[in-house]
Amino acid sequence: MNKLIFAVSLMLLLTACQSEQPAAKQDMKPAEAEARNYVMDGETHIKNLRMITDGGENAEAYFSFGQQKLSFQAKTGDMGCDQIYVMNLDGSGKTQISNGKGATTCAFFMPGDSLVVYASTQGGGDGCPPPPDRSKGYVWQLYDSYDIYVSDLNGNVVRQLTDTPGYDAEAVLSPKGDRIVFTSTRDGDPELYLMDLDGSNQTRLTNMKGYDGGAFFSPDGERLVFRASRPKSDAELADYNDLVELGYVRPTALEIYVMDIASREITQVTEFGKASFAPYFHPDGQRIIFSSNINSERGRNFDLYIVGIDGQGLKQLTFNPTFDGFPMFTRDGKTLVFASNRFNKKDGDTNVFMADWVE
């Protein structure tokens, strides 16, 4: 779960804006295209796929606790950087709830569905932060000005949860509604932390060299699934250390891990040497859905996969020649929401899709 740009920018991996094949174009609005078959050959686990946003860069759509709304981030038109929105499950009622100051990322409803937690750079100024230095190659910038805020649905910031030097972002709530996991660089390395809903009891969880982020809780709230880089060779460690000093991480090799929160025991789930990200537990607690470029020869095509928590039974779910990412199930496992470039109006557009899940 990094910034919205992950949905489009991660496709820029290895320097290109386009994926391996051009995305199909459709000029229909989602409401006019309900009968359109967005499901591609081989996608046997999804049906009744609906496009619920209509143009621009939309991603990281997550169900509210009542599962009647979605929070997400988007950049459309002349908007300078990502802002936070909520909408109904059919795409209606789209409302911006961030205040338009700075860049925002990673929005998640709080219990009761009247408040949303998200990260923003507003403490560092009203404008968008500068883009990362691409002379370093393809990197993410973990802006020090990111902190975590709580907003009501009218766009009023009601609380600031973090206020430490360094990047604080990627906040997600436990299904129990009692804890928040987030990523922070306050101790010099991007690590996972826990805190209470009011921002108290901020506790570090991970302690290994490398970026840890994009964490989600298991259905029982006792485990975390997350993405991480683990530089091993001397060259990788040198590159990582140099970049972290500048607030950068290189996301070209990310693996999926699971942590037991009580014991802090971490288990590696994938070992592909590619960019695997956006993991989310299936409601059965035994499988993980995620996005990866595992089968992309040029590294630009991302599809959804599902795998057991033991790393066994890997199965490809989507076969879109562009980008599919940020999947999330409803609690009953019957509905899946994700972001995709399929059938976009123009290259680079990412829309939110919803589908019925088929076992």
pLDDT digit string, tens, across residues 194-236: 999 999 999 999 999 999 999 999 999 999 999 999 999 999 9
pLDDT at 312: 98
- Tokens 């002379």, located at residue: 135
* Percent of the chain clearing pLDDT 90 (strictly above): 84
Per the prediction, the chain carries an average pLDDT of 90
Which residues, other chains included, contact 232 with Cβ-Cβ below 8 Å and sequence gap of 6+? none
Specify the residue for token string 């996991």.
Answer: 181
The predicted model scores a pTM of: 0.90
Is the torsion defined by CA of 317, 323, 326, 328 positive or negative?
Answer: negative
Q: What confidence category does residue 359 fall into, taking pLDDT thresholds of 50, 70 and 90?
A: very high
Q: Which residues pair with 103 in a beta bridge?
A: none
Does residue 254 surpass a pLDDT of 70?
A: yes
Distance between CA atoms of residues 307 and 53, nearest Å:
28
Cα gap 179→108, rounded to integer Å: 12
pLDDT band at 239 (very low <50, low <70, confident <90, very high): very high
Q: Which residues contact 119 (CB under 8 A, 6 or more apart)?
A: 104, 105, 106, 146, 147, 148, 149, 168, 169, 170, 171, 182
CA distance 247 to 141: 6
**Type of residue at 160:** Q
Pairing of strands 168-173, 179-184: antiparallel
Alpha carbons 101 and 322: distance in angstroms, whole number: 31
- Report which secondary-structure segment, H or E, holds 215: strand 212-217
Q: Does domain 5-357 have CATH number 2.120.10.30?
A: yes
The model's pLDDT over 24-60, given as tens digits with 9 standing for 90+, comes to 333 334 434 444 789 999 999 999 999 999 999 999 9
| Residue 179: burial class (beta carbons within 10 Å; 0-12, 13-18, 19+) | middle
86 neighbors 153 (Cβ within 8 angstroms):
yes
Q: Which residue has the higher pLDDT, 26 or 338?
A: 338
